């Protein structure tokens, strides 16, 4: 996940971010800081478990729930603010606005699996898999920025777009499944259900992206949001 984050945004900054017109609103920087902090929290939690510091892990976990709630608000707010900026710049390309479907599925999956992880906290095997699925849900922005730089023009057919956008998530799910099969000989039930739901949501997000009706709805939602920074 760290590799995808660093490589993707490392490539994106000089190629796209520094050249964006209109310039990103302040909320985009706040969003980046908050989501990066979550990666640090997750990494710290893993290290605490590995060092068997369970009490501190549990205390940080309770505080992390509030941070996750902040991410649930900031994620959609940042996406809508960015899209509202595109609408305000009348000459801008609006083809990116339907990508809101991916943004919403990503953060929705993050919230779902984080909540599941909390309720399954007394089942360590399922708890850790739910928390990792929560991170996989929002891993695609890093990985897809790699393909965004390397694949010009970006794929514009359903299956190619799905793979270019979510290949990193599928790779991570494959690694998680491989770990279960290697160590346990079978998939953890909670992981299997969660992974199936995540893939279904991502396929649905791309289906919406290519839907003319969704494009009109996404533009309407963005206009209703209004705030462009």
Q: Calculate mean pLDDT across residues 116-124.
A: 94
Q: Does residue 93 surpass a pLDDT of 90?
A: no
What was the pLDDT predicted at 92? Answer: 62
Supply the pLDDT for residue 86: 82
- At residue 123, does pLDDT exceed 70? yes
Kindly tell me the burial class for residue 136, based on how many C-beta atoms sit within 10 Å of its own C-beta (0-12, 13-18, 19 or more). Answer: buried
Please state, for a pLDDT cut of 90, what percent of the chain lies above it: 79
Question: What's the pLDDT score for residue 25?
Answer: 86
- pLDDT digit string (tens) for 52-84? 999 999 999 999 999 999 999 999 999 999 899
What are the tens digits of pLDDT across the range 150-193?
888 889 999 999 999 999 999 999 999 999 999 999 999 999 99
Q: Which domain holds residue 167?
A: 2-225
Instruction: Count how many domains the chain has.
Output: 1
pLDDT of residue 16: 77
* CB-neighbour burial class of residue 70 (10 A; exposed 0-12, middle 13-18, buried 19+): middle
Question: % helix / strand / coil in the chain, to the nearest 5?
Answer: 80, 0, 20
Taking only the tens place, the pLDDT of each residue in 195-204 is: 999 999 999 9
Ranking 44-53, 90-99, 132-141 by mean pLDDT, the lowest is 90-99
Global pTM value: 0.92
């Amino acid at each position: 996940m760290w590799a995808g984050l660093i490589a993707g945004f490392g490539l994106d900054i000089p190629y796209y971010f520094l050249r964006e017109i209109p310039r990103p609103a302040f909320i985009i920087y706040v969003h980046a800081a908050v989501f990066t902090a979550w990666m640090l929290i997750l990494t710290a939690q893993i290290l605490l478990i590995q060092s068997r510091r369970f009490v501190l892990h549990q205390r940080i976990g309770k505080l992390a729930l509030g941070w996750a709630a902040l991410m649930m608000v900031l994620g959609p707010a940042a996406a809508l603010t960015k899209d509202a900026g595109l609408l305000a710049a009348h000459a801008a390309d609006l083809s990116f606005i339907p990508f809101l479907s991916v943004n919403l599925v990503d953060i929705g999956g993050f919230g779902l699996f984080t909540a599941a992880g909390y309720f399954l906290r007394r089942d360590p095997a399922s708890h850790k898999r739910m928390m990792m699925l929560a991170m996989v849900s929002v891993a695609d922005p890093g990985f897809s920025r790699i393909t965004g730089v390397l694949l010009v023009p970006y794929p514009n057919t359903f299956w190619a777009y799905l793979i270019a956008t979510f290949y990193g998530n599928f790779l991570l799910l494959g690694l998680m499944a491989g770990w279960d099969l290697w160590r346990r000989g079978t998939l953890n039930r909670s992981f299997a259900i969660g992974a199936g739901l995540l893939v279904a949501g991502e396929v649905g997000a791309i289906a919406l992206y290519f839907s003319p009706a969704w494009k009109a709805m996404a533009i309407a939602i963005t206009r209703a949001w209004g705030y462009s920074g």
